[in-house]
Amino acid sequence: MTSPLISSSASRLLMRHYRLATVTAASTKKNYHRCTSNNAQNNNLSLPEQHSLSNGTLRHKLRTGQPTLGVVTGFHNDTDHAETLGLLGYDFLWADAEHSTANASTVANLILAAERRGLPTLVRIGYGYQNVIGHSQKFLVAGAQGIILPQCESADDVHKIVDAVKFPPIGRRGLAGERWNAWGLGGQNNGGGDVTLADCVRTSNDNSIVGVVVESRRGIEALDEILSVEHIDFVFVAPTDLSADMGLHGQIRHPDVVDMVDKAGQTIRSAGVSSGMLALNGDDYVKYRQLGFQVMVGVAHTMFAEGARSLKSRAEDYESSGGE
């Protein structure tokens, strides 16, 4: 299958804004009261063959409010674009199993490609599953570093996803030999000792990521109880579904939608949790970074469409001018 083209101009523009924000954040970031006691170096332990879960960098950035840039993709049958995003230096891949026909098998291929280029994968599961733990487990087995729960509207929703992602004593995730722990084949840790399954569990609990999406007025009204749950790493405010819930379908830049998104972000950050927002272009990135959002997410299909539209428009302009 031919790889979907990710517009180099769109991708580079987002990355340029992101790098500038990262430099600024390095001198101005504050320590959030809910960050983990271990730093990123301390969490880079005890998983053989360097699965992304062996590296605590992404979770450390989320827990300390640093800017991160990811891309949500529904191109689940193509792996080249996942590798490309890793090579370009994005922080994470958001594999979408809600707004796509992806399943655990197709997402597993994306994860393998992303891992090859050092790119962690978070999976947004579908909404409405009665067994959140069982549904999430398939993507965790496939090698996801974390799970993103859509349509979060209560503390109970958050408890379910924490139970799914974390092993006892924190959660209820089932333990077996799987990709993330090299199927229990062992290895050596950074200190030269043997890696045990117990080591792997500790590292997974330290570095696995729990994200939730708030995309309705009911969810925003429940933010205080949502944010009271421990082990939540970021809350993403989804403007498209929120606009629909407000009767402004698709008007993600309507002042009323932007105002509600902004206020939700303030509530999230005041609880010491990173807030996330959509960046369809570089201007979106700058706008919402200036409002304080830290977890910015582009869209692979938009990057592809904008690149394709730009080329076609330029070609038509040239031909209609008689080659001038």
Could you tell me which residues come within 8 angstroms of residue 284 by beta carbon, excluding any fewer than 6 positions away?
Answer: 277, 278
Which uninterrupted H or E stretch holds 210? strand 209-214
b/e code 76-107 from CB counts within 10 Å (16+ = b): bebbebbbbbbebebbbbbbbbbebebebebb
CA neighbor of 96 nearest in space, from 56, 144, 158: 144
Q: Which of 81, 99, 159, 249 is catalytic?
A: 99
Annotated active-site residue 99? The verdict is: yes
Question: Which two structure tokens, joined as six digits, stand for 45?
Answer: 């332990």
Report helix, strand or coil for 4. Answer: coil
Q: Which bin fits 183, alpha (ψ -120 to 50), beta or left (φ > 0)? A: left
Catalytic residue list: 99
